[in-house]
């Protein structure tokens, strides 16, 4: 029993065995999701259809949404821009929009809030909510 524990611990430390949620945190250079901050938020939402994902790094449902948002961003780039804003690092914007639970996704059209999507959504459910605005 002790040997099994040591082997699993070693694999985890070596990075050979990780939970899928932790792998989802990895950011690639090919990401189509735009990172927003307090300094670029207003310019980021002022033109076109923008879905902003208000998230935190410690939020499990937010971690689960990340690959879904990456897919939506890649597959629908001509219709919508997907962006993200870290609520822990950008508290003023989070307060301005009354973000009290995450994940919270706000869809903006030319800088005006159109709708909110709260919580984790599978890709098909998310697209159903978004496609009425394309």
State the catalytic residue, choosing from 62, 104, 105, 117: 62
Q: Could you confirm whether 104 is annotated as catalytic?
A: no
Bond before 103 cis per omega within 30 degrees: yes
Please answer whether residues 62 and 118 qualify as being in contact, where contact means their C-beta atoms are separated by less than 8 angstroms: no
State the catalytic residue, choosing from 34, 56, 59, 114: 59
Burial class (CB in 10 A: 0-12, 13-18, 19+), 56: middle
Task: Measure CA 3 to chain center.
Answer: 39
From CA 61, how far away is CA 55, in angstroms rounded?
Answer: 9
Radius of gyration of the CA atoms of the chain, in A: 17
Catalytic residues: 59, 62
């Amino acid at each position: 029993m002790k040997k099994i524990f040591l082997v699993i611990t070693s694999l985890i430390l070596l990075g050979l065995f990780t939970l899928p949620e932790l792998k989802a945190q990895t950011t690639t250079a090919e990401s189509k999701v735009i990172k927003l901050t307090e300094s670029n938020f207003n310019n980021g939402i002022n033109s076109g259809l923008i879905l902003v994902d208000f998230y935190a790094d410690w939020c499990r449902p937010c971690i689960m949404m990340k690959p879904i948002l990456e897919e939506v961003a890649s597959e629908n780039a001509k219709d919508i821009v997907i962006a993200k804003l870290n609520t822990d690092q950008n508290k003023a914007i989070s307060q301005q929009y009354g973000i009290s639970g995450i994940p919270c996704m706000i869809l903006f059209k030319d800088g005006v809030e159109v709708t909110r999507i709260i919580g984790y959504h599978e890709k098909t459910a998310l697209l159903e909510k978004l496609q009425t605005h394309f």
